[in-house]
Chain A
Amino acid sequence: GENVEQHPSTLSVQEGDSAVIKCTYSDSASNYFPWYKQELGKRPQLIIDIRSNVGEKKDQRIAVTLNKTAKHFSLHITETQPEDSAVYFCAGSMNSGNTPLVFGKGTRLSVIA
């Protein structure tokens, strides 16, 4: 089955700097890769996703890139703000509709003002 590895487990950046979180996956059949943000005491919420027919997707200060050959994808947050502090999870799944998402173990991002 699919295995998703996420690095780093913790990340501290200065406000205004960029943050990058990387994930690798094992199953070449996987083709959907969402990213979730979980604030302290809250539920995970989708922030951006990418499908394997595109290499990059942007939404304001966040972007995700996908390298299918290397089987890795990354989340990029630019101009970080204190409210970006949270735990971020990557996930992957196959195109068949009933295959559950497999999550990475999460990255705790701290943005220092």
Chain B
Amino acid sequence: NAGVTQTPKFRVLKTGQSMTLLCAQDMNHEYMYWYRQDPGMGLRLIHYSVGEGTTAKGEVPDGYNVSRLKKQNFLLGLESAAPSQTSVYFCASRRAGSTDTQYFGPGTRLTVL
């Protein structure tokens, strides 16, 4: 049982390049989330999904797109990367139900030059 995994762990992009971050969970969780973490800013929600085929915007969605084609996977895309998107990205998941534990992935450190 791997829990929540993220691919890749590190990535360096040039401004304007695109990339996709993959989050996978093997806990059969319905809800999945993408956060970014910047110094002094805490964990800010980018997008989330409450089920396969559904997505919703979080606090800071601009510049990102997501897809949840399979229940176990949640993809975060950057179509045209900007230096402001340099951050550590965390994926998380939890079961449906108001107070179940939310589990985080190990994070992806992205640098945009």
Binding site for B on A (CB under 8 A): 6, 9, 31-32, 34, 42-46, 49, 51, 89, 93-106
Task: Output the nearest chain A residue to B33 by Cβ-Cβ distance.
Answer: A100
The segment from B14-22, B60-68, B73-81, B91-99 found at the interface with A is: B91-99
Number of residues of chain B lying within 8 A (CB) of chain A: 23
Q: Please pick, from A32, A97, A106, the residue contacting B42 in the complex, using a CB distance under 8 A.
A: A106
Binding site for A on B (CB under 8 A): 31, 33, 40-45, 48, 50, 58, 90, 96-99, 101-107
Report the separation of the CA atoms of residues A51 and B101 in the bound assembly, to the nearest whole angstrom.
12
Please report the number of residue pairs spanning A and B whose Cβ atoms sit closer than 8 angstroms: 54
Q: Please pick, from A42, A43, A51, A105, the residue contacting B99 in the complex, using a CB distance under 8 A.
A: A51
Report the separation of the CA atoms of residues A9 and B41 in the bound assembly, to the nearest whole angstrom.
10
Contacts of A42 in B (CB 8 A): 106
Report the separation of the CA atoms of residues A89 and B35 in the bound assembly, to the nearest whole angstrom.
14
A100 touches B58 (CB 8 A): yes
Contacts of B41 in A (CB 8 A): 105
How distant is B54 from chain A, measured CB to nearest CB, in Å?
9
Report the separation of the CA atoms of residues A24 and B31 in the bound assembly, to the nearest whole angstrom.
25
B48 touches A43 (CB 8 A): no
Task: Output the nearest chain A residue to B3 by Cβ-Cβ distance.
Answer: A43
Report the separation of the CA atoms of residues A93 and B31 in the bound assembly, to the nearest whole angstrom.
14
Contacts of B107 in A (CB 8 A): 43
Q: Please pick, from B48, B97, B99, B106, the residue contacting A100 in the complex, using a CB distance under 8 A.
A: B48
